[in-house]
Amino acid sequence: MRRLLPLFALVSTMSAYDLHLQPKRLTPEVVCFFGEPNVMNTTNNGNMVNTCYIDTSKNYVVIDSGSSYAYAQSAYKAMQKIKPLPVGLVINTHVHDDHWLGNGFFTQMGVKVLGSDDFKHNADTHVPTRMQTHISPEAYAKTVPTLPNETITADQNLSIGNQTIELRLMKQKAHSAKDMIVYLPKLKTLFAGDLVFNDRVPSLSGGDINGWIAALEGLKSLNAATIVGGHGYRSDKEAMEMTYRYLTDMRSAIRNALDEGLGIEETMDKVVMPSYQSLKMYDTLHRSNVESAYRTLEWEQR
């Protein structure tokens, strides 16, 4: 404890925008921060993503560092009030910047950040980030895009404190080129990253509908009791069902359109899927999702 106090005092005095993040305890060992299920903007200032802390008794393991330096600092400060443990490891589930732009806050403290090797191929720190262009300058201040300082190319099991942490890489493109999930077998808790959305429409941009559905079907075999996605509030054992239904319903509808000989514009007009219209970001994302899925599925008939 004595060793932690100077570090915490240093971090606490650093000036950064405070998002006043509210922790939610899911199990005695897992606390998460659930962001608004919407696009990043100057109202939520990046508080639109989910990040979690695992108490291993030895230290905290963080799942996704969040959307900015300020986000990471705000979550860290909230956790230190709950229990003043150091952070021993940060895990980035995939390359989309809202999940890892908080890395710099942790690396300045010497914390190891772990991600898949996809960061070497599909993450560019030399161009403006989405957060930089969509949230306020005050909220983005002190954010330096910082990639994982260690990457993996295959599944791994880690033993940290009283927890075994299973890292699994998806075998094909799903939401991103290489999504990684984190599973705690002792707690039957799954951190699915952006393979799982709730309360808003998922985004297929840059993904593959077939690979995503296959990934979710594989994750169902874990029979997890707690499932945390990258966006949305639901975290019970049924938390992946909305994403799975949305994708499978869309695939079925697009395959039917292809069988009818419909082109891409006709299919985008036809595949409306009204049962999902109440979800946030439907108007923003659904039509482009149909377009993306169509371009994947049309190759099945060639």
* pLDDT of res. 198: 98
Domain membership flag for residue 114: yes
The model's pLDDT over 122-165, given as tens digits with 9 standing for 90+, comes to 998 999 999 999 999 999 999 999 999 999 999 999 999 999 99
Q: Residue 300: which pLDDT band, with cuts at 50, 70 and 90?
A: confident
Domain membership flag for residue 167: yes
Exposure string over 249-273, b if 16+ CB within 10 A, otherwise e: ebbebbbebbeeebeeeebbeebeb
Q: For strand 163-169 and strand 180-184, is the pairing parallel, antiparallel, or unpaired?
A: antiparallel
Q: Residue 15: which pLDDT band, with cuts at 50, 70 and 90?
A: low
* pLDDT tops 70 at residue 111: yes
Domain membership flag for residue 281: no
pTM summary value: 0.94
Q: Residue 16: which pLDDT band, with cuts at 50, 70 and 90?
A: confident
Domain membership flag for residue 260: no
Domain membership flag for residue 149: yes
CATH assignment of the domain containing 74: 3.60.15.10
Domain membership flag for residue 31: yes
Domain membership flag for residue 178: yes
Q: How many domains does the chain have?
A: 1
Say how far residue 3 (Cα) sits from the centre of its chain. Answer: 32
Give Cβ neighbours of residue 55 (< 8 Å, ≥ 6 apart): 28, 29, 30, 31, 83, 85
> Structural domain of residue 213, as residue ranges?
4-237
Domain membership flag for residue 285: no
